[in-house]
């Protein structure tokens, strides 16, 4: 469990009072996560005939309050467009965030279901379909923010992690980073469709009830980037053999076929598919190296193994892939 900032029951009740949620009946830290503090929060509405309500309380450990409007209003925008995402709860003035223990925080409704950690083709197809719908629904979102874990962050962070790598790892990281900088400056890359993206849609950020997708959550890495990068992030998690990093082509084709049934890929996207799969692997290798070797203090914090995405990156370099 990653709990960077403790929240007391009394503080939770104060939050519930501010948002008009009723009496707090449960407050429990959520396992997993390395960026924010998260708690399950259950309340009994003041009207006794209403059932108990379930929420997620998030305290932002790195994001400042000035950065929150992009994420929270994006979630609100998508929810209003029919995309199943957590809906931030407003106070009486329409604000979607508050402060607790000096940290900005928000409360969103808890999605039904659970994460599918061993997905089959049907789950991957559901993710592809909803991801395309989410991209289209976000086209008219009025706020702009770059992907804060995009290329600029990779360039800034790499010097900090290089001292911890051996010669082969250092060469791989610097060679791939140079390639991604070259790619980003190309006309082909500039032609890729762009818009708001989730940018972190791993298996543990999607909910299912059986084979039914019930929601996407954890939008706090979202930003404006290429839609293909978002697809590549999904493929590198949902459609791989976790032990080897190899793509499972049955699952990969299920995801991309379902996506294209809603929003067909452009010619530029087809051409750059292998390169964006490499970009998505690089992004998470760098961030996991950073979290592993330069960790912050937290209760029971367990950083992810960075060698996983090192393997994935090597696989994407050695075995380029495009959808059927």
Residue 44's CB is within 10 A of a number of other CB atoms, namely 17
| Domain-wise residue ranges, the chain | 9-109, 121-318
Per-residue pLDDT band at 300 (split at 50, 70, 90): very low
Angstrom distance (rounded) from CA 286 to CA 153: 9
pLDDT for 238: 98
* Annotation: CATH topology of 9-109: Phosphorylase Kinase; domain 1 (3.30.200)
Which residues are registered as beta bridge partners of 182?
none
When pLDDT is averaged across residues 11-26 and rounded to a whole number, the result is 96
* pLDDT of 45 strictly over 60: yes
DSSP label at residue 286: H
261 Cβ contact partners less than 8 Å away, ≥ 6 residues apart: 129, 132
Quick one: tokens of 187? 């006309």
When pLDDT is averaged across residues 279-294 and rounded to a whole number, the result is 96
Q: Are strands 98-100 and 206-209 parallel, antiparallel or unpaired?
A: unpaired
Per-residue pLDDT band at 67 (split at 50, 70, 90): confident
Domains 9-109 and 121-318 share a fold: no
pLDDT for 46: 83
Angstrom distance (rounded) from CA 88 to CA 40: 14
Q: Looking at the domain that runs over 121-318, which CATH code has it been given?
A: 3.90.1200.10
User: Quick one: how far is CA 20 from the chain centroid?
Assistant: 29
Could you read off the pLDDT of 231-253 as tens digits, one per residue?
Answer: 999 999 999 999 999 999 999 99
Report CA torsion sign: 154, 155, 157, 160: positive
When pLDDT is averaged across residues 29-42 and rounded to a whole number, the result is 84
pLDDT for 299: 41
Quick one: tokens of 226? 């290429």
Per-residue pLDDT band at 19 (split at 50, 70, 90): very high
What contacts 24+ positions apart, CB below 8 Å, involve 317-320? 317/176, 317/278, 319/246, 319/247, 320/274, 320/277
Higher pLDDT, 38 or 3: 38
Token pair 């294209």 is found at 260
Which residues are registered as beta bridge partners of 197?
223
Residue 28's CB is within 10 A of a number of other CB atoms, namely 11
Mean pLDDT of the chain: 94
Residue 87's CB is within 10 A of a number of other CB atoms, namely 16
The percent of residues above 70 in pLDDT, for the chain, comes to 96
pLDDT for 295: 84
Could you read off the pLDDT of 190-205 as tens digits, one per residue?
Answer: 999 999 999 999 999 9
pLDDT for 144: 94
* pLDDT of 32 strictly over 70: no
When pLDDT is averaged across residues 269-288 and rounded to a whole number, the result is 98
pLDDT for 321: 98
Angstrom distance (rounded) from CA 281 to CA 317: 10
DSSP label at residue 134: H
Higher pLDDT, 302 or 171: 171
pLDDT for 128: 98
Quick one: tokens of 307? 């060698």
CB distance 112 to 55 below 8 Å = no
Assign residue 32 a region (left: φ > 0; alpha: ψ between -120 and 50; beta: otherwise). Answer: left
* pLDDT of 48 strictly over 70: no
When pLDDT is averaged across residues 114-140 and rounded to a whole number, the result is 98
For residue 231, count CB atoms less than 10 angstroms from its CB and return exposed for 0-12, middle for 13-18, buried for 19 or more: buried
């Amino acid at each position: 469990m990653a709990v960077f900032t403790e929240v007391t029951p009394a503080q939770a009740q104060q939050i519930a009072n501010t948002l008009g949620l009723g009496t707090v009946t449960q407050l429990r830290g959520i396992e997993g996560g390395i960026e924010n503090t998260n708690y399950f929060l259950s309340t009994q509405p003041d009207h006794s005939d209403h059932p108990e309500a379930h929420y997620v309380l998030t305290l932002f450990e790195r994001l400042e309050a000035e950065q929150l409007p992009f994420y929270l209003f994006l979630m609100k925008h998508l929810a209003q467009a029919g995309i199943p995402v957590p809906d931030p709860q407003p106070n009486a003035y329409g604000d979607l965030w508050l402060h607790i223990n000096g940290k900005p925080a928000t409360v969103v409704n808890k999605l039904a279901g659970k994460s599918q950690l061993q997905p089959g083709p049907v789950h991957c197809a559901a993710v592809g379909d909803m991801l395309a719908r989410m991209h289209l629904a976000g086209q008219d979102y009025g706020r702009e923010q770059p992907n804060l874990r995009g290329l600029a962050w990779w360039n800034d962070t790499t010097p900090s992690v290089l001292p911890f790598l051996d010669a082969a790892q250092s060469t791989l990281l610097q060679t791939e980073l140079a390639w991604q900088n070259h790619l980003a400056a190309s006309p082909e890359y500039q032609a890729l469709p762009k818009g708001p993206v989730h940018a972190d849609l791993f298996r543990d950020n999607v909910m299912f009830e059986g084979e039914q997708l019930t929601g996407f959550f954890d939008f706090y890495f979202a930003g404006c980037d290429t839609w293909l990068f978002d697809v590549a992030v999904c493929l590198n998690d949902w459609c791989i053999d976790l032990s080897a990093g190899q793509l499972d082509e049955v699952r990969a084709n299920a995801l991309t076929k379902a996506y294209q049934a809603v929003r067909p890929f452009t010619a530029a996207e087809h051409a750059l598919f292998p390169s964006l799969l490499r970009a998505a692997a690089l992004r998470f290798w760098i961030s996991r190296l950073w979290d592993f070797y330069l960790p912050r203090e937290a209760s029971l914090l367990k950083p992810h193994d960075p060698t996983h995405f090192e393997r994935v990156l090597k696989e994407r370099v050695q075995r380029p892939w495009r959808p059927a």
